[in-house]
Structure 1
Amino acid sequence: MRPRTAAPAIPFPAPESVPTVDPRLAQAVGRPVHGDSVARRTGQSIRRLAAPKAQPGGAEAQLARELQVPVPAGRIVAVTSIRGGVGKTTAAALVARTLQRARQDPVLALEADAALGTLAVRLGAPTVRWSITELAQILTPEMHLLDITGYLVPLPDGGWLLPASQGRVGPPLDIPTYRTVTLGLRRHFAVTVADCETLPGEVARTAMDTAHARVVVAPMTVEGVGGTRVVLDWLSGLPHSALSSTVVALTSGTPDQNLDLSTAIGHLRETGVGVVHLPYDRHLAAGGPIREELLSSATRRAAAQLAAEALQRAARAR
């Protein structure tokens, strides 16, 4: 194991750790709900008892193998959307935590959206300290992984987080900072999942252009699917083909959608991208930290499929 290098000179006072949720609000949070209702969980239990045992080579085992496939170091998966409030950060958190739990090599969740992002909350980090902007000022090529992790947030389920801020309004994240950090950290992490700002932000455009795989989060609405199709047409015009390395996460914000799912998926797949449907989940809809044991069974499967498809595309990229 390599020894730590000398600590770099810090051109500013070292930041203090701050809670991700105001303690006064944390006391008011109620009991988290399960993604599946009691009736649905009961029905699932009955079906499992009645059904034959799953074969070792089933779909879940195949997904597990796909999540553990070897990848070249420094793969970056950029997650964005055409507007806020559609589940972008939730999708990024699901992809990051799925990879962090499934893989033995280090996986980083990077918050590349300084607009009071909630990635730290969704990933269950109790406090944050260093931000992407601060790390960019002290990052050097001589630093090893042990040096780097001293500036990151260790996550409860494994893996690491680098937040964009300490929950305060600050200067927007710029392209040089994003490039400095992603290029400086990529050799230390097998996969980095970047939760980017919404399109057409400059950092989001840069992230989408330079990532090895892209996840575009779209709401399951007529305008959401239509707007995302426009973004996919833009991706097709990038200097290197981006559609083959893009997955659309189609999110259901309510339990009762009035858009036909198969039609929406078909409309997006016409461009050549993969599409994964993230169903409505009561646990996710309530906000707060994502707890694996409270996700619905459909959400767990969808999250694993989304992470696997993004990883496969990142592994193939040159």
Structure 2
Amino acid sequence: MAQEGDWQLDVLRELGQPDGLARPAEPPLRLVHPAPAPPADPRLGLAGAASGQHLDPPARPPSSAPDPRPAVRTPRDLRLPMPTPESVPTLDPRLSHALGSPQHGDSMARRTGRSIRKLTASAAQDVAEQTRIARELQQPVTTGRVIAVTSIRGGVGKSTVSALLGRTFNHYRHDPVLTLEADAALGTLPVRMGAESVRWSCADLAQILTPAMQLTDVTGYLVPVTDGGWLLPASQGHVGAPLDIRTYRTVTLALRRYFAVTVVDCECLPGEVARTAMDTAHARVVVAPTTAEGVNGTRLVLDWLAQLPHSALASTVVALTANSPDLILDGKAAAAHLRETGVTVVPLPYDRHLAGGGPIRTEMLGEDTRDATVRLAAEAMQRAVRVR
């Protein structure tokens, strides 16, 4: 069980705010002491000096020199509005035009054969299974649930799995769903989610969130996803400072008030933000490629999760991805090796549409991929709701 109270209190103490939300730091005021009153004129005597009366000082010749005394600035003057970032395309326009037509995940022959089998088979069992999974995905939550997705290295489908989970939760749930990118500056989540451009990042939002903001205010800084849901990128695609732990904690703690489910596309382990996200999330999805070295490294990660104080292994699911149609490692043997730790393993088959890159279109996914994604989302949601 994630011990939310510990790190949340740390954030509150660091920020020095009662609500734990970051605010722009205000520079200290430069106080100006009032100028001393001119000495009382001797002609007024002691009474005039005691009463503060004095004669007007002689007029000084006009001078162009500025007044050396600094003006007193109020806090309202010091709270300058944050400049609005420029909108940046997620892909170079030349690459966008170079993208060809997306392929369907299943070949035409496979889709035809599947349709024939459906006509001759009973659909009662399939309907019952789909109803059960949908019920798990639609479980009510009392507070926002955070599901962290990570892997031991890049290029294994981590952002793809995050995008698939975000779209699946948004399809089945009727409350707001957020997909948050906590990866390096050049992550691919916005592209996979179908965002044409990005503007505000996690670091930007961490500076302007306030408790008085409503959901409609917050979504004004997010990227709307084509088929529903919201996206918050980690950056504008520049090579710059990576997302730090303080910003990640501030943003996730604040946004849980508005979104029922937040899917976090973390950086790869053993990055600091990834370790923090895995330790504080309600559920975890570890993406493992179906290769010998990928499965072996993922097993080491699972052993590490088993040593955490709150037994994070119980709320972890492994997504075993196939990035090639010709696998050397036996998938069943790989899944059995990972299941020895006690985790649930959900294989994600090779899909031509996902392998082609670019924006994910759910209607172009292979049927086996859709079924596996829905099952993976249900397993993760079941474990996230179990955490109190």
Q: TM-score, normalised by structure 1?
A: 0.95
Alignment equivalent of 1:175, drawn from 226, 235, 245: 245
**In the alignment, what sits opposite 1:99?**
169
Deviations 1:132-156 (A, max 9, x none): 0111111122222111111011111
Shift of 1:46: 1.3
Question: Of residues 169, 191, 205 in structure 1, which corresponds to 2:261?
Answer: 191
Hey, what's the Cα distance between the residues in 2 that align with 1:35 and 1:246? 27
Structure 2 match to 1:109: 179
Q: Corresponding residue for 2:315?
A: 245
Partner residue of 1:4? none
Q: Does 1:122 align with 2:192?
A: yes
Q: Give structure 2 stretches of 5+ with no counterpart.
A: 1-23, 25-78
Q: Distance in 1 between matches of 2:147 and 2:122?
A: 37
Are residues 1:77 and 2:119 paired?
Answer: no
Q: Per-residue deviation at 1:55?
A: 4.9
1:163 aligns with 2:262: no
User: For the Cα contact (< 8 Å) 1:86–1:253, is it kept in 2?
Assistant: yes
Quick one: distance in 2 between partners of 1:204 and 1:39?
A: 42
User: Does 1 or 2 have the higher relative contact order (CA < 8 Å, sep 6+)?
Assistant: 1
- 2:128 aligned with 1:48, yes or no? no
1:205 to 263, 275, 279: 275
1:186-225 CA-to-partner distances (Å, cap 9, x unmatched) read 1111110000000000000000000000000000011111
- State the alpha-carbon separation in 1 of the partners of residues 336 and 106 from structure 2: 27
What is the alpha-carbon distance in structure 2 between the residues aligned to residue 56 and residue 249 of structure 1?
A: 22
- Deviation, 1:17, is 1.6
- Alpha-carbon shift at residue 53 of structure 1 (Å): 3.5
Aligned residue pair count: 311
The 1:39–1:57 alpha-carbon spacing in structure 2 relative to 1, beyond 3 Å, is closer
Instruction: Return the alpha-carbon distance in structure 2 between the equivalents of residues 182 and 53 of structure 1.
Output: 41
| Residues in 1 aligned to 2:289 and 2:80: alpha-carbon distance in whole angstroms | 42
Distance 1:105 1:53 in 2: 30
Out of 271, 284, 289, the residue aligned to residue 214 of structure 1 is: 284
Identity %: 70
2:371 maps to 1:301: yes
- The structure with more radius of gyration: 2
Regions of 4+ moved over 6 Å: none
TM-score (norm 2): 0.78
- Aligned CA distance change for structure 1 residues 56 and 302 (closer, same or farther; 3 Å): closer
Instruction: Tell me the equivalent position of 2:345.
Output: 275
Structure 2 residue aligned with 1:21? 91
**Post-superposition shift, 1:71?**
2.0
Q: Which runs of 5+ in 1 are unaligned?
A: 1-7
Superposed CA RMSD in Å reads: 1.4
- Between stretches 262-271 and 170-179, larger displacement belongs to 262-271
8 Å contact kept, 1:197–1:203: yes
SS in 2 for 1:58: helix
